């Protein structure tokens, strides 16, 4: 069976701000992702993780190579991909319910259908009772739950997440990890989203991912691609198992090497 997402020879260079040579942020990269898979991406700051994710989202264009989703070349943003950023990107003048309805309204769905769909996803992310609250009335975790519900409500085939829990405190972050993983594990196999999740947190990458990809220091390339040998569904207690700690130790060493390389390049 052909892969769901195919990244083939994708590189990205950025023009210099004032003379000089272009900056190569991402080396020619190949990666395939199966449908319904959950892949996490690790690497030092500036290694091209977010650049690669934005190219898959259609928010940026590669300097070379191509990305295909379900056999079709990605040329720009599309409803088949939902994006969740570290910043909550909610509309401050809209309530939780209307933020979740935003994409549905843009698609022209009848209001009654919008409300029914939105309510289902509000319930799924645990925000029942907060439908009429505005973002400023919500905690960071609740705002990110709203952003997640909005992305899911649009029915994307793939969910792209760029450090979505990076701004949250440790306890809230772990709760959000369990929430997202529970939603992904709980969906029927035919409805489950394919997830591409960028993070700096090794525990998060191993706990959530079916596969973990490690990228090198800039210019980024895929240095390591590991299956996570822990079956789904997962409980937070897996973090104390030998399989978890062994893979975490391997990834920690790989990432540390790349962080040191990035620091050396700046000297």
> What pLDDT, on a 0 to 100 scale, did the predictor assign at position 46?
83
> What pLDDT, on a 0 to 100 scale, did the predictor assign at position 259?
85
The answer to whether residues 37 and 228 touch, using CB atoms and an 8 Å cutoff, is no
With a CB cutoff of 8 Å and minimum separation 6, the contacts of 180 are 148, 164, 208
The pLDDT tens digits of the residues spanning 94-138 come to: 999 999 999 999 899 999 999 999 999 999 999 999 999 999 999
- The 3-state DSSP class for residue 83 equals strand
Separation CA 236–CA 99 (nearest Å): 30
225-262: b (≥16 Cβ within 10 Å) or e: ebebebeeebeeeeeeeeebeebbebbeebbeebbeeb
194-198 and 211-215: which strand pairing? Answer: unpaired
> What pLDDT, on a 0 to 100 scale, did the predictor assign at position 189?
57
- Quick one: how far is CA 102 from the chain centroid? 20
Residues of the chain where predicted confidence (pLDDT) is lower than 50: none
Please, how many CA atoms are within 13 Å of residue 162, restricted to the half-sphere of its CB? 20
The mean of the pLDDT values for the chain is 92
> What pLDDT, on a 0 to 100 scale, did the predictor assign at position 89?
83
> What pLDDT, on a 0 to 100 scale, did the predictor assign at position 191?
65
Statement: 5-80+160-266 belongs to CATH 3.40.50.300:
yes
H or E segment and range at residue 38: strand 38-42
Domain boundaries for CATH 3.40.50.300 within the chain? 5-80+160-266
Separation CA 196–CA 160 (nearest Å): 5
> What pLDDT, on a 0 to 100 scale, did the predictor assign at position 261?
81
Separation CA 200–CA 41 (nearest Å): 8
The pLDDT tens digits of the residues spanning 157-174 come to: 999 999 999 889 999 999
């Amino acid at each position: 069976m052909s892969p769901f997402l195919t990244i083939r020879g994708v590189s990205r260079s950025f023009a210099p701000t004032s003379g000089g040579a272009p900056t190569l942020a991402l080396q020619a990269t190949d990666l395939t992702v199966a449908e319904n898979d959950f892949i996490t991406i690790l690497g030092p700051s500036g290694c091209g993780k977010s650049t690669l994710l934005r190219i898959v989202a259609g928010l940026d264009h590669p300097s070379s190579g191509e990305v295909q989703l379900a056999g079709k070349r990605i040329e720009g943003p599309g409803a088949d991909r939902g994006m969740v950023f570290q910043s909550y990107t909610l509309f401050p003048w809209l309530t939780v319910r209307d933020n979740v309805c935003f994409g549905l309204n843009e698609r022209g769905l009848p209001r009654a259908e919008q409300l029914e769909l939105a309510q289902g996803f509000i319930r799924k992310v645990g925000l029942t009772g907060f439908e009429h609250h505005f973002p400023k009335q919500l905690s960071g975790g609740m705002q990110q739950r709203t952003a997640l519900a909005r992305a899911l409500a649009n029915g994307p085939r793939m969910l792209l997440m760029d450090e979505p829990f990076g701004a949250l405190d440790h306890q809230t972050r772990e709760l959000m990890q369990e929430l997202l993983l529970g939603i992904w594990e709980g969906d029927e196999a035919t409805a489950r989203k394919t997830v591409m999740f960028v993070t700096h947190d090794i525990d998060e990458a191993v706990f959530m991912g079916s596969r973990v990809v490690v990228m090198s220091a800039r210019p980024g390339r895929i240095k390591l691609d590991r299956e996570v040998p822990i079956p789904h569904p997962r409980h937070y207690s897996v973090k104390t198992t030998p399989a978890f700690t062994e893979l975490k130790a391997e990834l920690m060493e790989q990432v540390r090497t790349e962080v040191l390389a990035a620091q050396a390049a700046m000297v």
